[in-house]
Structure 1
């Protein structure tokens, strides 16, 4: 019984295929491109250049379009090397920005047709990709990709399509991407532009029914081209993990298959296992009886496979988000630890500061402690250095005494340089002695001293301090003292 069911199913499938063939239009297949004019936008590098080389091998007159003239010139030389000997093939370039206004594109393409001949095949290969999350994309980059990827395809096609319909002959190729079949993280703006290309193609397919003009929509995978290298510079980690699962193809491999699919009149040109799965699941335009049969029989199973694949992509995105959150939290903690020291750090800082203050106080106490007279260098007061643990070195000293006639008064000058462990002090004294006037010492510190002072018998309470520390008094002698430490605290009496 089971065998009969299987046989009946096979019979129904065969009948279904025969019926489909009756309704399908026969596709025009081209074996070569001898003396046909092929125009390729974006033909100076990558997939476009590879297609141009393949077209030259098949005998076509090739025109490549781009913006970089030096690169175009070099590419023309490389493509010419693939021409057949003595074939009379014309290989040329045209400098054109396909994102400009339609009039400029129309003028350029009409001139090419006048010089070389009617355009038989138009391959829209100009494009670019800037990756990134949509909410972080620059508006200028979004517009740039829409202009180049969509309008760079729509404008040249708009020019050539009426002419091909009029001649009832021609081939058009749209180069999209697998990101136009399934939304992928990081390809939001780029994918939208390529989805627009796919949407345009799906509609033009139906408009070409009943004509000998064919349109092929290509979904190339990641391809090793200069454009792909630039794409990698902006591609998020998640996008690399997702798109990298399909592998990397060469431009020659992709260009060769794409051109052959277009010459066979295929509606879709896909690459690799993932490309075939995606096209069966998401491409709705009828391409062949085999395509329709595969979709009928395997759509549910393929959908289950794609669900598992998409869930694995979601896992990559979630892990990437968790990693970013953790990195952001660690960065905040690092910044907080730098800007706000911990309580342990503050405690240690306070201990060090307190220890320094105690050391300064001890040393200062040794400097100002009273002592006996300082030998021949004393001024009749106490010796400031006798109790200091390490006696300071007197680098230099000098004194002069000028007496007036009859010993009515005298002027004495005294200067001395003293080096201590904490500072270098320069002291200069000027003293005028008479029955009613005294001028006190004046100090000038080249490096801020911890303590500088001189002592004399206490003066009368009526004292006025001048700019340089000169004191005037009715008493024969005065006492003037200044104190300065390294923290900027100073006082005098």
Structure 2
């Protein structure tokens, strides 16, 4: 990162674990001031205690009023230059059993979480003529997977928003991109493995292999690999990269 990037303030949503935690750590090591935002204050404070971030903000990204209030408090310390919209959730069910409430939950967290946080930080970015927005989407935003239609639909919406917003902001000094991890070794994946085990009676190793087989490298992606991609997109050297959905998936896409 450049001198300007090292003086930047990054807001990382879903920063208490997994990709968010790894991203906060990468940005912090690069010299940025990092605020982690999420619902679990204890988890966020542990990230700060570990030296991976500097400040904590508590809000549910699906709640616009809560995000707006948190953004005001965060910006009072230092305007946000880098937004990493990482907060997300995944639920699986056959389409026939995916009711409207499930679709709303997936859209509210995965899509509106990006909408709310981007709208909260964009006015300040525009006023200063610079900024980076990186949405952590998924390969599910680039292709379909069986039994996660609501999640895949929400992540497709994220990619569509990224591409449209990038064009709208192309002359503003602000870039907007998505990082699309394949199956990644996080708590979210652990929950998916537990679901597979419960529903199919497979062992943990068999359930893990079922997910890892989607990756041509036959392994899970690591949170650090995703974080490194986010870090690059936040740097000055990626100034011409905008509107992209970059797969971090071992060649799956």
- Shorter-chain TM range is 0.7 to 0.9
Which residue of the partner structure matches residue 134 of structure 1? Answer: 95
Counterparts of 2:208 and 2:139 in 1: how far apart (Å)? 13
Match of 2:204? Answer: none
In the TM superposition, what is the alpha-carbon distance from 1:215 to its structure 2 partner? 1.0
For the pair 1:97 / 2:66, whether they are aligned, the reply is no
* Structure 2 CA distance for aligned equivalents of residues 157 and 243 of structure 1: 32
Taking the aligned partners of 1:32 and 1:257, their CA distance within structure 2 comes to 19
SS across alignment from 1:123? strand
SS of the equivalent of 1:270 reads: strand
The 3 A distance-change label for structure 1 pair 184 and 243 is farther
* Range with bigger deviation, 56-65 or 250-259: 250-259
* 1:317-340: CA deviation from partner (whole Å, max 9, x where unpaired): xxxxxxxxxxxxxxxxxxxxxxxx
Contact 2:111/2:157, CA 8 A, preserved across alignment: yes
Partner residue, 2:5: 33
Q: 1:179 aligns with which of 140, 143, 160?
A: 140
Residue 46 of structure 2 corresponds to 74
State which structure, 1 or 2, has the greater radius of gyration over its C-alpha atoms: 1
Structure 2 length normalisation: TM-score? 0.86
Q: 1:57 corresponds to which residue? A: 29
Please give the per-residue CA displacement for 1:139-178, whole angstroms capped at 9, x wherever unaligned: 4332211110011111110121222122110100111111
Q: Which runs of 5+ in 2 are unaligned?
A: 201-206
Q: Which residue of 2 aligns with 1:211?
A: 172
| Structure 1 segment 259-408 matched on structure 2, within 5 A | 259-263=231-235, 264-265=238-239, 266-267=241-242, 268=244, 269-275=246-252, 278=253
Take 2:21 and 2:108, find their aligned partners in 1: how far apart are those partners?
21
Structure 1, unpaired ranges of 5+: 1-28, 83-89, 279-493
Aligned positions of 1:441-456 closer than 5 A: none
Pairs within 5 Å for 1:128-207: 128-207=89-168
Shift of 1:95: 1.0
- Deviation of 1:123 after TM superposition, in Å, equals 0.4
**In structure 1, what is the Cα distance between the partners aligned to 2:232 and 2:47?**
21
Where does residue 203 of structure 2 map in the other structure?
A: none
The 1:124/1:109 distance shift into structure 2, 3 A limit, reads: same
Counterpart of 2:214 in structure 1 is 245
Q: Aligned residue for 1:484?
A: none
Q: How much does 1:201 deviate?
A: 0.8
Alignment length (residue pairs): 237
- CA–CA distance in structure 2, aligned partners of residues 109 and 194 of structure 1: 23
Does the Cα contact within 8 Å between 2:139 and 2:182 map onto a contact in 1?
Answer: yes
Shift of 1:239: 11
Task: State the shift of 1:30 in Å.
Answer: 4.4
**How well do the aligned residues superpose, as a CA RMSD in angstroms?**
2.3
Between 1 and 2, higher relative CO (CA 8 Å, sep ≥ 6) is seen in 2
- 1:253: Cα distance to partner? 2.0
Distance 1:222 1:242, change over 3 A: closer
Which residue number in structure 2 is paired with residue 346 of structure 1? none
Task: Compute the displacement of 1:42 (Å).
Answer: 0.1
